[in-house]
Amino acid sequence: MISESGLNRNMSNETASLDRYRSKTIYFFKRYGKGYLFLLPFAILFVVFVITPVVLALSLSFTNYNIVQNPIWVGLENFRYMILEDDVFLIALKNTLVFAFITGPIGFMASFIFAWFIDQLVFRKVFALAFYAPSITSAVAMSVVWGAFFSGDRMGQINYFLMRIGAISEPILWNLDPTKIMPMIMFVSIWMSMGTGFLVFLAGFQNIPKPLYEAAAIDGVRTRFQELIYITIPCMRPQLLFGAISTITVSFSVFDHAVTLAGLPSPNYAGHTIVTHLYDYAFIRFDMGYASGIAFVLFIMTFSLGRISMKVFASND
Amino acid sequence: MKFLKNCTVILFIIIQSGTLLYSEDGLLLRDKYLSDDENSGPGETVLSGRLYSDVLRTFSAGEFAEPGETRSYSPLADSDDSVDFGDGTGFPWEDGGSSFDWIISVGHDGLYNLSLEYFPLSGNGMTIQRKLLIDGKSPFIEAENIPFYRMWRDDGPVKVNTFGDEVRPGQVEVARWQKSRFTDINGLYPGPFSFYLTEGSHRITLQYVDQPMAIGDLTVSPAEILPTYDSYRDLYSFAEPVGIDAEVRVQGEDARLRSDSILRRENSFDPSVEPFSGGKSLLNIIGGWRWRSGNQSISWKIMIPQAGFYQMPIRLQAPFGEGLPVHRQILIDGEIPFEEFREYSFPFGLGWTTHIPGDSKGNPYLIYLDKGEHTIALVNKPGTQRDAVLILKDLSLRISELNKQIIMITGGNPDLNFDYELEKKIPGLLGEFTHIVVELERVKEILLAVSTSRSPIISSYTMKQEQLRDLLEKPYLIPRRLGDLIDVQMLLSDSPLWLQEQPLNIDYLSFVSPERHLKDYKAGLFRRIYVSFMNFFRSFYKEYDQVAGMEEEGDVEINTYINVWVARGKEWGEIMKQMADELFTPATGIGVNVNVVPMDSFAIGGSGGVNSLLLSLVSGKYPDVALGVPQEAPVEYAIRGAVTDLSQFSDFEEVMERFLPGTTMPLTYDNGVYAIPETMDFTVMFYRKDILNELNLRVPSTREDLFRKVLPVLAQNGMSFYYAMRPNDVNEIARLYTPLLYQGDGEYYSEDLMSSGLDSDMAYQAFREMTRFFTVYNCEIQADFYNRFRIGEMPIGISSFADYMKILVAAPELFGRWGIAPYPGVLQEDGSVDRTAGGKLSTAVIIDDSSKKDAAWEFIKWWTGADVQSLYGREIEAVIGTEARWNSANIEAFSRLPWPEEDKNVFEEQWQWYAEQPMALGGYFTNRHLRNAWSSVVMGDMDPRDALEKAVDDINTEMNNKQFEQNRRKEVLELKSH
C-alpha cells in the first residue's frame, strides 16, 4: 500500500521503490522460502482439517440449519439460548467438568503409576499389552461387555454378586437410576483410560538416562520413591505434558461408552455430557446451527485447558 | 457378647417364622380371592394327551395286522361336489372349520397305516395340515397336525447375473395328485404313524387346520414291515450283472422335486465339487443348512440304461453336526427298498467325501434297478439321535416342573441363609434329580456310540450331571444354585432341537457297477490354497454392499433403475433383491438396486449412530426408497422436507387398506402421510398356563383384575409381573404409557398438535398408574423376561413380538404350557373391555428429491403386497430360522404366517385396539420427558403430579421453540420467493 501511494506521489521514485519492494519479497522468499515450503504439507493439512472445520462450525453456529434445507442466519440467537435458557447445557457442562476433573486426574495418575510399576516388572511387554488392550478395543464393544456387568436385572453380574454377599437386597439399576449413571460411566472410563498416555509414559521411562540414577544414588537418594520424585518425574516432563493433553481431550469428548451404557438421552440427563448434548442437537433434533455453537464452545474449552497444561508442564529450560 | 449372639439367633428365628406364617397366610388369601369371584379358577387347559412314542410302546411287534388287507375308501361326501383336477377328481377342501369323514372296516385287530390321496390347492405355500380323529377321539398329540407336503420345482433354468454369478430360479409348486402316509409334522419318527384298530368299522375324521387341498381316497393298509437287506437281495436273485463300465450320475443341484420351497441350489467354492465354481459363484450343490428339519425331502430322476444291481456312491458333506452323524431315509421310486434305508446314517465330516451306503463292515448295499427312469428321494430323519431326543424332551419337562415347584417355595429371590428343606417339601425331588442324572448318562451313551469325535454337547451333559450330583449331596444348596438348575433346564430343552437338526450337502448321486472299486478323493493342498487365495483376492474388487442384478435379457426391458437402501441385515437385503429381480422387474420394467446399510442408520438418535439418510441428502447421493425406517423418523424427515407425502398418489387409500387403520397415525404430519408400514410390533400379555393353574389364577382381563387378584398372589409366592422396559431407549416408555393413556381417554397432544396433552387429568391418572406398577406393586424395573418366564419366576407379563418369538422358538419345553392374551384393559360401561395398545412400526419412505417417485411408489406397492410379504417371510425363516419371523404390517401376510391358532385369535383381537403415538413438531421431547418424569418418581421418590407437570412444561417449551423455528423458516422462505 505504502509503495503504491508512493508511486502516485512521486513518479521519479517509481522504479526505485518498486525495485525495493520486489527485492524485499524475493529476499524474503530467498531467505525463508525453503522453510515455508517444507512447512507447506503440514500447513495445508492443518488448514483443511483443523482451521476450516472450526471456522465453518463458527459460521454455522450463527445460523439455524436443519441439515436438509438451507441455513438461515439468526445471529447470536444460538449463543443467547445456550447461555441464558438452555438448562440442559448447564447439566451437560456440569457433568463434563465433574467427569473431567475426576476421571481426568485419576486416569492420568493411574496411567503414570501403572506405567511406573510395569516398567519395573519382568514381563514388561505382556503387562503393558494387558493394560493397553482396553483402550484399543472399540469403546462401544467394551461398553457392551460392561453393560452386561452393570445390568439392572438381578441376574446382572455385579448385582448378583452384591446380592449374594448380602451387600444389597434390591438390584441396583445402574443404567436407569440417575444417581448411579455418572459413577458407572466414570468407572468404565477410568478402566479404559490406560491409553496413549500410558504408552508414552512407558516409553518415557526408557528414555531416562541410567547414569542419572547412579549419580543420584551417590548424591544420597535412598528409596525408589525419591528416585521417582527427584529424577523420574522431572525427566518425564514432555511425556507428562502429552499425557495430560490427551487425557483432557479424552475426558471432554466422552461419548461412545456414555451412550451405550446409559442411552441417549440418559434418564434425567444424568449421563449427559457436552458431546452428547451436541449429538442430541445435531442428530436427534437436527439443529446443526446450535450443535455447531456447542462444538465451538467445546473447542474453546479444550483449547484453553490445553494451554494451561502446557504452562504447567512446559520445560523451563 | 454371647448374649448378643443369642439375641440375633432368636431374632432370626422370629423373622423366619414370620415369613412362614405369612406364606401360609398367602394360601388363605388366595382362597379369599377365589370365593370373592365365582368366575376365577383355572381358566386354561394345559396341553394334555399322550405322545405317539408312548402310545406305540404299548403295542408289541406281534400286533401287526395280517398282510394283504389294503383297501381304499372314498370320503363320505356328495359325489356331485367332486371336481376334476386334470389327472383325477377329488373334493376341494378350502374352508377352515370343516371336516371330512370316512367309514372304514378292518378284518383283524392290529396296527395299520393310513394314507390319503391329495391335490394341494394354491394357498400361501405353507404345509397343508389336518387334524386326525379316530372314532371321534384324537389318538395321540401328534395327530393334531398331520402334514401333507406341497412339492416344489425350479421355475425355469438357472440365470447368470451381472457379476457372472448364477442366480437361483424361482420356485413353483407342482400341482398334481400325491399320496402321503399320515406321519408326524416334525419328522421325528422313522416311519408313518401306526394306528391300532380293532376288528370292525371305524370312523376316520380329518379336521381342517391349515391350507386348502383337494382330497381323494383314504387307504388303510397294515403297518408296513420292510425286508432286511439280505432278503431284499434274495428277491432279485434273477438279476444279471451289469458291465463294469456302467455308471450314471445326477448332479445334486438338478433335483426334480423338493418338499419345501426353501430347499434349493446352493454354492460351494470347494475345488473338488463339480462343476467347479472357479471365481464365480456357481450353484453346484444342494441342501446345506436349510435342509436340516425333519421330513424335508429332495428327489432326483435318473435314467438307468441297464437292469441290474448297482452300488450307490453319493458325493456329500455333513459338516454341521459336531461329530454326530446325519440321517436320511432313502426311497427308490417312492418306496424304502429295505429296512437299512429307513434311516441311513451318513458320517460327520468337514470335507467332501464320496460315500457309498453300505453295512457296518463296509460292504456296499446293492440296489436293484430296472432299465428306465427312476426316482431317488432323500428324506430328513433323526435316526439314532431320536432316542436321545425323546429322553431329553421328557427330562426337560421334568426339570422345568421341578424348577417351577422350587421357585414356588423359595420365590425368585431366595433367602440364601435359610434352609428351605426343599427335599422334604417337594416329594420325590431328589429322586427326580437322580433320575435325570441317570437318564443323561443314557443320552451320553447313545450319542457317544455314534459320534466320531467327542461332541461338545456330550461334555456339557457331563457338566450338568456334576452340578446335579453336587445338589443331591447337599440339597440345602439348591436355593443358592437356582442358576445352575435353570442352566440345566435350558440345556435339556434346547439340545433336542440341535440334535434333530441334521443338515447335509449333496454334490451328486450316482449308480455304479458293483464290480468297480471306488476311491474317495480330495482336492490337493496346493489347489485348495490357490482357490482360497483367488477368493481372497477377488474380495478386493467384488462389490459386497451392492446386491448384484440380473444380466439384461431380451424379454425384460428395463426402463429405469431405482436405488433402495435397506437398514437390515445382509440376508434381508439379498432376499429382497432376488425377489425383486424375479417378480418385480419383469413385470414393471423397473430395475432395483439394493444397498444394505447398518441397522441404526435411519433412526433418530439411536445408539449414537449418525443418520445416514439425512447425510446422504446433504451429499446428494441419496436413494429413492429407504426401507427399515423406524416409526419416529418419517415425520422428522417430513418436517424438513426430506420425504414425499405418499397420500398424493392416487391409489394411496387402496394401499393403506393392507394395514391396520391406526398405523397411519404416527406417520402423519400436517395432513400428509409420509411412510408406509413394513413391519408391526404388538403389545400383549404373556402367561404361563401351568403356573396360573397352580396358583388358581385366571388370566386377568382388566387391569383392575390384575391389581386386585393377580399381583398380590404373585407377590406372596415370590413371583413377579413383567412390566419392565429395556434400558437405553427413550421410546420404550411409550410402550408402557400409550395403552394406559389411551384406555383412559387421554391424548398425547392437543388437537392441533401444537402443545402437549399430558396436562389433562386423564393423562395424570395414566401416569400415576404407570408409576404405581413400580412404587406400589414392586414390579421390577429391569428384567430378562425370556429367562424369568421360562423358569417361572415371572409367570405373567406384558411384552412384545421379540419376546414372543424367543419363547415360541427357544423355549420348546414350554410348548402348550404358555399362552398370550390381549392387553389387560379397562372395563367400559357397555361391558366390553378397552384394550387399546400400540406396537412399533418400521416403515418405507420415498425421498422427496428423487426423480423417480412413481417407480419408487410402484416398488413400495409391490413390496408391501400380501403375496410378496408372505413369500419374503418364508424365505427369511428359511435362511435364518424361525426366530427371524417377519412380522409384516400387512395384515393378510401376517395372518398367513404359521402362528398357533389360539395366538392368532389373540393377535386379531388386539389389532382391533391398535393405536400409536402421533407425531408432532418437537414431539421427541414427549417420550424423553415422560421417561425423566417416570425415573424421578420411580427412582427418586418425586410426587407423580409434580414430575408430570415438570415434564409437560419441558415438552411445551421445546414444542414452542420448534414451532417458532419452523415459522421463522417459513417466513424467510417466503421473503426469498417474493
A177 touches chain B (CB under 8 A): yes
At residue B222, the 3 state secondary structure works out as: strand
**A283, closest residue in chain B (CA to CA):** B605
Count chain A–chain B contacts defined by CB atoms under 8 A: 111
Looking up cell 414393471, which residue turns up? Answer: B588
| Model pTM score | 0.75
- Give the closest of A261, A265, A286 to B640, CB-based: A286
State the SS3 of B775-789: HCCCCCCCCCHHHHH
Task: List Cα–Cα distances, B891 to A146, B42, B626, B908, in angstroms.
Answer: 40, 32, 21, 9
Query: What distance in Å separates the CA atoms of residue A265 and residue B926, rounded to the nearest whole number?
Result: 12
Q: What is the pLDDT of residue A316?
A: 57
Query: What distance in Å separates the CA atoms of residue B199 and residue A12, rounded to the nearest whole number?
Result: 138
| Chain-centre distance for alpha carbon A138 | 17
State the virtual CA torsion across B71, B77, B80, B85 in degrees, nearest 10.
-60
A71 touches chain B (CB under 8 A): no
**DSSP label at B601?**
G
Q: What is the pLDDT of residue A18?
A: 56
Shortest Cα distance, chain B CAs vs residue A63, angstroms: 11
User: How buried is B443 (Cβ within 10 angstroms: 0-12 exposed, 13-18 middle, 19+ buried)?
Assistant: buried
How many other CB atoms are found less than 10 A from the CB of residue B521? 11
Those residues of chain B that have pLDDT short of 70 are: 1-49, 60-68, 124, 162-163, 542-557, 605-609, 727
Dihedral (CA of B123, B124, B128, B133) sign? negative
Residue type, A1: M
Question: Which phi and psi angles does B629 have, rounded to 5°?
Answer: -85, 125
**A169, closest residue in chain B (CA to CA):** B413
Query: What distance in Å separates the CA atoms of residue B215 and residue B325, rounded to the nearest whole number?
Result: 38
Q: Which residues of B touch A154 (CB under 8 A)?
A: 412-413, 780, 783
Query: What distance in Å separates the CA atoms of residue B662 and residue B235, rounded to the nearest whole number?
Result: 69
Between B799 and A135, where is the model more confident? B799
Shortest Cα distance, chain A CAs vs residue B437, angstroms: 26
Q: Which residues of A touch B607 (CB under 8 A)?
A: 140, 259-260, 263-264
Which residues 569-608 on chain B approach chain A with CB closer than 8 angstroms? 604-608
| Chain-centre distance for alpha carbon A35 | 30
The set of residues, in sequence order, having a beta carbon less than 8 Å from that of B528 and lying 6+ positions away, is B270, B271
The percentage of residues in chain A with a pLDDT greater than 70, rounded to a whole number, is: 91
Whats the size of chain A, residue-wise?
317
**Which of B572, B563, B571 minimizes the C-alpha distance to B888?**
B572
**A257, closest residue in chain B (CA to CA):** B608
* C-beta contacts of B900-903 below 8 A and 24+ residues apart: B901/B209, B902/B819, B903/B819, B903/B820
Shortest Cα distance, chain B CAs vs residue A122, angstroms: 38
**B605, closest residue in chain A (CA to CA):** A284
A148 touches chain B (CB under 8 A): no
Contact B965 A64 (CB under 8 A): yes
B733 touches chain A (CB under 8 A): no
| Model ipTM value | 0.79
Q: Which residues of B touch A163 (CB under 8 A)?
A: 413
Dihedral (CA of B463, B465, B470, B476) sign? positive
Contact B935 A176 (CB under 8 A): yes
Has residue A130 got a pLDDT over 50? yes
Shortest Cα distance, chain B CAs vs residue A72, angstroms: 7
- Give the closest of A262, A268, A285 to B936, CB-based: A268
| Chain-centre distance for alpha carbon B40 | 33
Split at pLDDT 50, 70, 90, the class of A17 is low
Q: Which residues of B touch A144 (CB under 8 A)?
A: none
B965 touches chain A (CB under 8 A): yes
The DSSP bridge partners found for residue B178 are B118
Q: Which residues of A touch B728 (CB under 8 A)?
A: 175, 260-264
Residue-wise pLDDT for A231-251, tens only, equals 888 888 888 888 888 888 888
Is the peptide bond preceding residue B900 cis, with omega within 30 degrees of 0?
no
Shortest Cα distance, chain A CAs vs residue B952, angstroms: 14
Has residue A1 got a pLDDT over 50? no
The DSSP bridge partners found for residue B621 are none
**B976, closest residue in chain A (CA to CA):** A72
- Give the closest of A152, A175, A286 to B636, CB-based: A286
B640 touches chain A (CB under 8 A): yes
Contact B886, B900 (CB under 8 A): no
Test mutation, B725, B927, B965, chain A, max A CBs within 10 A? B965
Question: HSE-up of B659 (CA within 13 Å, CB side)?
Answer: 29
Average pLDDT, chain A: 83
